[in-house]
Structure 1
Amino acid sequence: MLEAFTPAAPVHTLSGIARHTGLPLTTTHRLVGELAQWGALERDAHGAYRIGLRLWEIASLAPRGLGLRELALPQLSDLVHVTGENAQLAVREDLSVVFVERLAGRGAVPVLTRVAGRFALMPTGVGRVLLAYAPPDVQERVLAGPPARCTPETVCEPAVLRQLLAEVRRTGVAICERQVTLDSVSVAAPVHGPGGDVVAAVSVVARAGGVQPHTLVPLVQIAARGISRSLGADPVPRPAAGVTGRAPADRSGTATHR
């Protein structure tokens, strides 16, 4: 019933909820009343329903949500201040990336992501980082699934994607250019938890062609290490000397996948 509410449809009538769930109207009326009484739903002046603040209160207790966001906010704010671009923090939930926070500088390139929104793993910088450090079975499920093609430039070939994931593990950074929108480039790095596992990813999303992606790499990595320290992680070794964080050359010979 709660899944009927989406960013595209945040408000529903009682009959609309019944149609979405396939439940009888009388049953829907009873359940919606219980949810509204508890605070999970709120009724507006026109009699329609929207998600209530009680769910936000409960969701704020998720350790990978608000707590992680609060620890990361200083680093994300610094990224926006220095770059003037979008700074994002995300975690993996099964085969999707979930955005915990996004801050945008004035004049930053528009992005399709939103806080608490889900997106495919492979096209996004944060998603590619999270997938690179995910268990092998998760990687195989993503590679075996339907390709998440967002633009004509989105890399979808499993063999190439395997190379890209290996490159992320080698360099500690992902560069995704024109993969989600044709006017954006994302530079992302992993955030480590106390046990050394990758628990999140941080990125800067800038306008493609307006900045050289490799110039953003050290800034994003510094932010990722700062968030990792806030989480209690041990110092993470830097990539070997000479590693710039550039993606491997694609079939057209360019340095990043466009």
Structure 2
Amino acid sequence: MTGAANLDTVLGKAVTILRAYRPEDQVLPLAELVRRTGLHKATVYRLAGELVANRLLDRVDGGYRLSGGLFELGMLASLERSLLEMAMPFLQDLYERTHETVHLGVRDGHDVVYVAKIGGHRQAKSPSRTGGRIPLHCSAIGKALLANSGPDLQREVLTAPMVRRTPHTVVAPGILRRQLARIVETGVAFEHEESALGIACVAAPVFGHDDELVAAVSVTGPTSRYRPEAQVAAVRAAAAGLGSTIARRERIR
């Protein structure tokens, strides 16, 4: 999550309530919302009622859960929606070629936000989820985005504290800087158990009109049987095909 809501406004307090939910949460009692937000109990109760009236929360036994109205709003996000519509045929083709978990991600601040995730019955157990985020430095898709971003962003990430998610996460700025340079040279990024143990990944950046960095595509599998080096050509082809489609759409607008 990036940024913080302004607790001096009603809107800011309402957003703080919505952002109190975590991926694993189903229903949160009023007391837990109060604890997580730090807001007064009466304020949380009143604003939760307003959110229920606007279909952003549902009142259920045991507390409150996020409502389908949020999903509807999310699907109206124009950039991600149009990107997903263009990307889906390439992601599906990539899945059919590899039969491993396929991701599409975009950069938001110092994180990757996953726009899509396709996996079959034998998909690797990974921390990613559609709509979820993970730091740029510890995933192949994130490193592909970071390597092809401007020097200012790279400097921000490399000079800030980097979370070590596993014993294999690269948190040394010098090593990561060399990896980023190599990614630019080869056009692909790798991850070996850096975001979670037991998974490996290869990713390629997606460039649109005028070589603008738009997104990145990746294939992830379990280290017990998956070798990401074997999927370099497939990932590059998917990223290039999606990039060409995006550029063509931009040129005819």
2:44 is the counterpart of 1:24: no
Q: Quick check: 1:196–1:233 contact (8 Å CA) kept in 2?
A: no
Aligned mates of 1:97, 1:13 — CA distance in 2 = 30
Query: Which runs of 5 or more structure 2 residues have no equivalent in the other structure?
Result: 1-16
- Higher helix residue share: 2
| Alignment match, 1:133 | 148
- Residue deviations 1:197-254 (CA, integer Å, cap 9, x gap): 11100000122252443220110011111211222259xxxxxxxxxxxxxxxxxxxx
| Alignment match, 1:119 | 134
Aligned mates of 1:212, 1:7 — CA distance in 2 = 29
Taking every aligned residue pair, what percent have the same amino acid on both sides?
A: 37
| Alignment match, 2:124 | 109
Residues 24 and 156 of structure 1: CA distance in aligned 2, closer, same or farther (over 3 Å): closer
AA matched with 1:206:
G
- Residue deviations 1:140-195 (CA, integer Å, cap 9, x gap): 11111222222222222111111111111111111222222332211100111223
Superposed displacement of residue 38, structure 1: 1.0
Q: Quick check: 1:41–1:50 contact (8 Å CA) kept in 2?
A: yes
Cα RMSD between the aligned structures?
A: 1.8
For normalisation by structure 2, the TM-score amounts to 0.86
Equivalences for 1:178-257 in 2 at 5 Å?
Answer: 178-208=193-223, 210-232=225-247
AA matched with 2:222:
R
| Alignment match, 1:94 | 109
AA matched with 1:112:
P
Residues 147 and 23 of structure 1: CA distance in aligned 2, closer, same or farther (over 3 Å): closer
Superposed displacement of residue 109, structure 1: 2.1
Superposed displacement of residue 55, structure 1: 1.5
Q: Quick check: 1:85–1:106 contact (8 Å CA) kept in 2?
A: no
Superposed displacement of residue 94, structure 1: 0.2
AA matched with 1:23:
L
